[in-house]
Structure 1
């Protein structure tokens, strides 16, 4: 097994890492100093406490492997920083669940084992989902599931405005539907254009759906996508709040019953079922029709390099417990809903809940944010992109100028 290099680890500022460490919560000691019967596990789910279904899911894999798992939870950004620090100090946990765009960042340091080195077969994983964890042809983790985006709608509002959701097949028909619902006195569409990764995540279906590529943020196709969003604000089809909306805020707006449409994800399925009005969902449309590629969300399970390679056998058992078809369905229902990353897992999930078929189809057609060999360049490009979205939606500059500035920033950051 390879030992991690210091080329990226030493670039982290001490202050940033200390702040990240402070953001963690745990029922155990931090780090990878566990004894032979105790294995350390880090994940980005501080909202799931020791008594949660998720904690029980982790404990079940510990029981299956015949060991104890000490679980530590950090928020997403803190987890990546803390993992890099732990590798620098040769104190990595045995297992990390990591937001998929961060896998390439950790792999680039040499601190992760490849799945081939670990003896785990990834051939059954859907290629579009596995891609986020592949660097130079090597898979550095396994997705435990995936979520993605769709277009939720309020059936009552559409009925009142005379809009058939099945008629929405491209950008023109969606804009026409927005004109109808706002003309009938309702709010149109809400989405997240916030200046964070959430903003990029929600803009990508429109960016990719135009035919644009992340290697050219200022292409004519990209400009058309940003003109679409900006035009909706200018025409009153979307509220100014989208500039600062997180995805959670978007959903809170939608649940008021005032909006016809909301862009949001698989994770709102249960909430949608409990809304005070009938809710449906359709795919996000491409500019000229068809289904727009949507970005994959979700975490990978990865195995950091350990100084004691005798630990790998049990770690592999824990990883396998999380990634069998049955294990993937357990995780999917625990998080309501992650879509399993294998055909067998997806079929098993649909046997339990056939209503999830639109989301399974969406995940099968989704695209990893670090795909197209972007790897560690993706976060830099994404930051430039969400800055352009902010500048255009706020009216600071027009869509074309905003994206030209973003392309210049992205090139400077990645070269």
Structure 2
């Protein structure tokens, strides 16, 4: 393995100069070989070397008998960097990437399958695993998952005479927003920004009608567009939703002026510091039940390597990072719901407030599921453009979705 490692270092000299190669092993001063260095890339730039996440990586590396050299990237930059490195034959050994990007990287031939590297997936919940599957093959293991629900301000709802437990479908939610607005407060805030965050937040309402991403302009899809549009026109949601990221939307909810705020599991820590009593309910489907939300969260994948002997240690790293012994650390650090039923049961036992999130994750679906794969980003862009056009009044919901469908068809041919 030493000679292969030396070739790897020599081939990567150019990338090392660009900061894309973390390093290679070298003999210790005493002559004994040092542990092989394995590169891990992740999108967690917010976590420094003293974080629990990096401690977990170090522990998993020690268990695999290797040294982990971790490089964090901003999420938007990670896919492009991985593509570039793969073209140069210097892809990382282990990659954590947002689940919609798995199909893009797999389609480019960059990722191995779990079968190739012999990583077990039988304990992973099927709807979570599907987010990393393309053509019946699985290209990684979810480290955890998150999705969306509705936070509510108890005092605002009490003042308006709204029982959050009675919100079970679109009609009862809209009636609640009307009461909250009539009481002098604001109904609901969400993120409709013209980025993937806007698509992410719209999908529960879209899927909650039974609509499919292959037919944006169906009657069901138009109904979802009309719901949000009518909320803005009637003053139940502010015009600021057109500019809101999920963070900006949370800040609006945190002012205490809103009855409801659509947001994710990742805001739980902030929710507990709000200064007012809050609760959480599922996003309702059009005619009742929990709407399928989009799955967030990263997959731990193994990029293709010329030296296939490296896969043995990579498999150990993946197994450690996604195993039962590490799940509590990753879920606490990353605010994720566990990807297995056993892990979810432990979470709920420790914190009953997570029950609503476990239920939401188990009802959720991957954005690239239904064999969309790499087509999803080409559909998501016109979809969020339609939301912008309709909410701003530039087009009617029907006109906006018709235009979006035409654009999506052209882009995915």
TM-score (norm 1): 0.92
Alignment of 1:36-115 (within 5 A): 37-115=36-114
1:404 is matched with 402
Q: CA deviation at 1:329?
A: 2.0
1:134 is matched with 133
Q: Which runs of 5+ in 2 are unaligned?
A: 1-14, 26-34
Q: CA deviation at 1:32?
A: 6.6
Once the two structures are superposed, residues 46-76 of structure 1 have per-residue CA deviations (whole angstroms, 9 ceiling, x without a partner) of 1111122222222221222232111111111
Give the SS at the match of 1:97: strand
Match status 1:328 vs 2:327: yes
1:143 is matched with 142
Per mean C-alpha deviation after superposition, the further-off stretch among 213-222 and 58-67 is: 58-67
> Aligned residue pairs: how many?
389
Alignment of 1:364-375 (within 5 A): 364-375=362-373
**Cα RMSD (Å):** 1.4
Once the two structures are superposed, residues 311-365 of structure 1 have per-residue CA deviations (whole angstroms, 9 ceiling, x without a partner) of 1111111111111122122210112x20111112112222322221111111111
1:290 is matched with 289
Give the SS at the match of 1:34: coil
Alignment of 1:3-402 (within 5 A): 29-31=19-21, 34-35=24-25, 37-335=36-334, 337-402=335-400
Give the 4+ runs in structure 1 shifted more than 4 A. Answer: none
Per mean C-alpha deviation after superposition, the further-off stretch among 171-180 and 349-358 is: 349-358
Equivalents in 2 of 1:352, 1:303: separation in Å?
32
Equivalents in 2 of 1:56, 1:121: separation in Å?
24
Asked whether the equivalents of residues 22 and 69 of structure 2 are also in contact (C-alpha less than 8 Å), the reply is no
Equivalents in 2 of 1:161, 1:152: separation in Å?
16
Equivalents in 2 of 1:246, 1:211: separation in Å?
26
Asked whether the equivalents of residues 22 and 70 of structure 2 are also in contact (C-alpha less than 8 Å), the reply is no
Give the SS at the match of 2:39: strand
Asked whether the equivalents of residues 326 and 345 of structure 1 are also in contact (C-alpha less than 8 Å), the reply is no
